[in-house]
Amino acid sequence: MELPTLVASVIVVSLYVNLGIALYGIFARPSLVKKLLAITILSDTANAFAVLVGYRWPRTGTPQPPVLMNTTNYNESIKYYIEHAVDPLPQALVLTAIVIGLAVTLFIAFVIIQYYRLYGTVNVRKTATSSR
Amino acid sequence: MKKSEICVIISIVIFIFSLAYITSLGGLGYLPPVDVRKLAQIYLASTYNPYQPTNTSSGYESVTAIIWDFRGLDTFFETAVFYGAIIASVAIYRGVEISSKKKSIGMSPIAKTVTRLSLILIPIVAASIAFHGHLTPGGGFQAGSVATVVIVLSIMVFGLRRLVQKGVTKPKILLLRSLGLIGIGLTAIGLVLAGLVIGVNAYIFQNQAKAMAEISYPMWIDDVLFGGSLLFFNIFEFVAVMAGFTLVLMLFSIEEEEVKKVIK
């Protein structure tokens, strides 16, 4: 197995493990804070996965960030750029997803703090039992 | 450990192993891919193309070009979602005021002196990221996030009350946030308004001239690549993100006693 393939495979497997940890946190942990942490891990895993899907290892040379660095000889530069730059679309999607994700995470954190102030706990099982 | 928890763990492990097995069979294709998709090639080719002025976004940075030109309308609504989350957070804290009458304690004079230096340098870095967003990696989102570090540092080192005493209040930050969003909206319809005045067609979120809409934001000013609408979008997004995060972080830092006065 070539080195780039090996590294990509290790990253994919570690992302799957991250996904498992996040799902466990969301489904099994009763604490809302831990659920929020798990949701954050899940969204970060999805973002990292999107960036990995847009990554490339060109046939010749090394990958390049999606920024046109040289325009002196435009035709040659743009040809090299298209052949070596990674996919910019997942990066653009992830960029907005991170900022909006942070804003939504902050909002959920606010809700959890208010929940704690009202119920005195962030444990959903305790709250469910006490309201019966 | 409860039986239900064990069931959840076993289900997740089976799910993860299934995913890994599908990947090992080539479910994701060759890793890492050798080529990018056709759509990505089109984006890369049209980010900066001086020979096709109607098919370029006038910047060197493909990610910024996608965010604010090719998919500008999407990003506008994403910014609106971000704005909505901030407004929802403010709504939860309605009625809670930050008391500026009490004295702020803050950290030691050493920490305060070092922070004062950082408070000058960090906004410069943030502004640089925003202003060069169409040329180098960066843009409004990243610059706004960097600038928010100033507020975090100020709250931690000088205290929230000191910040309020200096005039950084909730209504002012909300106004700044709204101005950022209005700026994005105006940049989006800027060419349409200009087209109405001079009597030519233009599209919403248009950057450079298109067929039947021959009006553009400036691509070059002298020999500097200006980036057309990308520069304006980056600057306004910088303001909007910085103000949004500032507001939320200020709300987070309000003393518990102040909040409990309202909730009780």
Q: What is the pLDDT of residue A131?
A: 59
Whether B54 is in a domain gets the answer: no
Q: What is the pLDDT of residue A27?
A: 93
Whether B1 is in a domain gets the answer: no
Residue A132: is its pLDDT beyond 60? no
Rounded to two decimals, what is the model's pTM? 0.92
Q: Round to whole Å and give the CA distance between B64 and B47.
A: 9
Q: Which band of pLDDT confidence, cut at 50, 70 and 90, is reported for residue B93?
A: confident
Q: Which band of pLDDT confidence, cut at 50, 70 and 90, is reported for residue B264?
A: low
Q: Is B220 on the interface with A (CB under 8 A)?
A: no
ipTM, two decimals: 0.89
Q: At what angle do helices B3-24 and A3-28 cross, to 10 degrees?
A: 160
Q: Does B37 sit within 8 Å of A59, measured CB to CB?
A: no
Q: Is B159 left (phi over 0), alpha (psi -120 to 50) or beta?
A: left
Q: Summarize pLDDT for A92-121 with one digit per residue, the tens.
A: 999 989 988 988 898 999 999 989 988 899
Q: What is the pLDDT of residue B83?
A: 87
- Chain A hits for B241, CB-CB cut-off 8 Å, are 99
- Mean of the per-residue pLDDT values of chain B: 91
- Give residues 73 to 132 of A whose Cβ lies within 8 Å of B: 74, 78, 81-82, 85-89, 91-92, 95-96, 98-100, 102-104, 106-107, 109-111, 114, 117-118
Whether B201 is in a domain gets the answer: yes
Residue B94: is its pLDDT beyond 90? no
Whether B36 is in a domain gets the answer: no
Residue A83: is its pLDDT beyond 90? yes
Whether B199 is in a domain gets the answer: yes
Q: Which band of pLDDT confidence, cut at 50, 70 and 90, is reported for residue B258?
A: confident
Q: Enumerate long-range contacts of B38-42, CB under 8 Å, 24 or more apart.
A: B39/A89, B40/A54, B40/A87, B40/A88, B40/A89, B41/A82
Helix, strand, coil abundance in chain A, percent, nearest 5: 75, 5, 20
DSSP B31: S
Residue at B150: amino acid letter: V
Q: Which of B34, B88, B135 sits opposite A59 (nearest CB)?
A: B34
Q: Does B61 sit within 8 Å of A57, measured CB to CB?
A: no
Which of A34, A51, A31 shows the shortest CA–CA distance to A97? A51
Q: Does B20 sit within 8 Å of A13, measured CB to CB?
A: yes
Q: What is the pLDDT of residue A46?
A: 96
Residue B101: is its pLDDT beyond 80? no
Q: Is B254 on the interface with A (CB under 8 A)?
A: no
Whether B49 is in a domain gets the answer: no
Q: Round to whole Å and give the CA distance between B120 and B104.
A: 21
Q: Summarize pLDDT for B149-170 with one digit per residue, the tens.
A: 999 999 999 999 899 989 999 8
Number of domains in chain B: 1
Interface mutation vs chain B, best among A52, A94, A95, A118, most B CBs within 10 Å: A95
Q: Round to whole Å and give the CA distance between B202 and B192.
A: 5
Q: Searching chain B, which residue's CA lies closest to the CA of residue A62?
A: B34
Range of the domain at B246: 61-263
Q: Which band of pLDDT confidence, cut at 50, 70 and 90, is reported for residue A43?
A: very high
DSSP symbols for B184-238: HHHHHHHHHHHHHHHT----TT--S-BTTB-----SEETTEE--THHHHHHHHHH
CA B43 centroid distance within chain: 21
Q: Round to whole Å and give the CA distance between B139 and A113.
A: 32
Interface mutation vs chain A, best among B4, B31, B57, B262, most A CBs within 10 Å: B31
Q: What is the pLDDT of residue B26?
A: 86
Whether B209 is in a domain gets the answer: yes
Q: Which band of pLDDT confidence, cut at 50, 70 and 90, is reported for residue B31?
A: confident
Residue at B20: amino acid letter: A
Q: For residue B176, how many C-alpha atoms fall within 13 Å in the half-sphere facing its CB?
A: 19
Q: Residue B161 in 3-state DSSP?
A: helix
Q: What is the pLDDT of residue B152?
A: 92
Measured in angstroms, the CA of A16 and the nearest CA of chain B are apart by 6
Q: Please report, for chain A, the start and end positions of each structural domain, with discontinuous segments joined by +.
A: 3-131
Q: What is the pLDDT of residue B111?
A: 94
Q: Summarize pLDDT for B121-136 with one digit per residue, the tens.
A: 999 999 999 999 999 9
Q: Round to whole Å and give the CA distance between B91 and B82.
A: 14
